[in-house]
Structure 1
Amino acid sequence: MGQSSADLANAAPGSWPLGRALAQLAGAFVLAENAQGLVVVDMHAAHERIVYERLKTTMAQAEMPAQPLLIPATFAATPTEVATAEAATEALAALGLEVTPLSPGVLAVRSMPAALPDADPVALARAVLADLAEGGPDEARHLVQRARDELLATMACHGAVRANRQLTLAEMNALLRDMERTDRADQCNHGRPTWRQVTLKELDGLFLRGR
């Protein structure tokens, strides 16, 4: 069973790496106390990383689903693109893509990765075909993975808690615990830090204590 709000409020500051939540500042930061001193958390950046890692884990556990296109996207293809599309149907399908010959020198994109609804079908298909022709299925998977990661980052940003939302102490503590369980929780998806430590020694120095 999880701990109650009272348990969290009464726990010693050193019980968890990121400590115990104390308050929210300016609608954007969570202040917490740990064994080293004060922890300042950018709540949106931290939650964005948590949501992103959850989305990535969920998608990694399943095959990439395909979304059929209502109207196939067609393009004039090179002989290499046509040959690659015909030879790599399984690799394309594993990536959620169906690219088939429509007529001599013309390919049709009939399905797209469902995780990339805003991607340009022709641009994605041609890029994947180029990587398949040059480096094989692994290179193509890396290309789609990069595009998918960018989409997940956008989804995570929109799904994360927004600035100026008032959190309860229980919600702040839940955020801190989620951060402790999340990979790379010290940085958001854009590379910004999600939290900073201000040690007791640094706080003493600010107030000239011990001099």
Structure 2
Amino acid sequence: QVHENYIVAQTRDSLIIVDQHAAHERLVYEALKNALHSRPVPSQMLLLPEIIDLPEEDAERLALHSETLARFGLGIERFGPGAVAVRETPSMLGETNVGQLVRDLADEIADNDTVDTLKERLDKIAATMACHGSVRSGRLLKAEEMNALLRQMEATPGSGTCNHGRPTYIELKLADIERLFGRR
């Protein structure tokens, strides 16, 4: 791991540099999408509900979409004027900043409320949740975690780009590296 953000690996004929956050974000996104198609996303009940203060229109929007959010494992309901109570979060996100997640979802719904199909809306919500549930840049990973991430990438279609379209890894061919050092 380099700078607690990039995983360096080698293949038979190349060097691979992986952005751990972007790669894990894509994997979580794909897992959320797959879980949605087969069943509701498993959730974790919070010991105490988290009350999030929001502008009234955001709280109302979230309440209107509570059934959709419940499919993602996010249990949310109105809690008086300008507030929502979060009772459950998606299990696969682990520990996450619930307040920021809810605010980002409110923004996502506001930006895309009228034009998107349900599938597109669900995909955008999954992308927002995946970002919050992925390994952060600056987190030191154990060798087993890095290996597991690389194996998951190999098994996941589309893992070469993150949800925002950026590459999750770059590959430097051995021949190109040798050329850079004047060996070829």
Q: How does 1:25-104 map to 2 (within 5 A)?
A: 25-62=2-39
Identity of aligned residues (%): 41
TM-score, normalising length: structure 2: 0.61
Pick from 163, 173, 176 the counterpart of residue 202 of structure 1.
176
Q: Which consecutive residues of structure 1, in runs of 5 or more, have no partner in the other structure?
A: 1-23, 65-108, 129-141
- Cα displacement string for residues 115-155 of structure 1 (whole angstroms, at most 9, x for unaligned residues): 486446xx95xx49xxxxxxxxxxxxx71111111111010
Give 1:62 shift. Answer: 2.5
Structure-2 separation of matches of 1:57 and 1:174: 19
- Cα displacement string for residues 50-101 of structure 1 (whole angstroms, at most 9, x for unaligned residues): 000000010111279xxxxxxxxxxxxxxxxxxxxxxxxxxxxxxxxxxxxx
Between structure 1 and structure 2, the one with the greater Rg is: 1
Structure-2 separation of matches of 1:43 and 1:203: 23
C-alpha contact (below 8 Å) 2:29/2:130 kept by paired residues: yes
- Residue 146 of structure 2 is aligned to residue 169 of structure 1: no
2:125 is matched with 151
C-alpha contact (below 8 Å) 1:115/1:148 kept by paired residues: no
Compute the RMSD of aligned alpha carbons.
Answer: 2.6
Q: Which consecutive residues of structure 2, in runs of 5 or more, have no partner in the other structure?
A: 42-63, 77-105
TM-score, normalising length: structure 1: 0.54
Structure-1 separation of matches of 2:169 and 2:182: 25
Structure-2 separation of matches of 1:171 and 1:63: 27
Structure-2 separation of matches of 1:30 and 1:54: 21
> What is the identity, as a one-letter code, of the residue corresponding to 2:129?
M
The count of aligned residue pairs is 126
Q: Specify whether residues 179 and 143 from structure 1 end up closer, same or farther in structure 2 by C-alpha distance, changes over 3 A only.
A: same
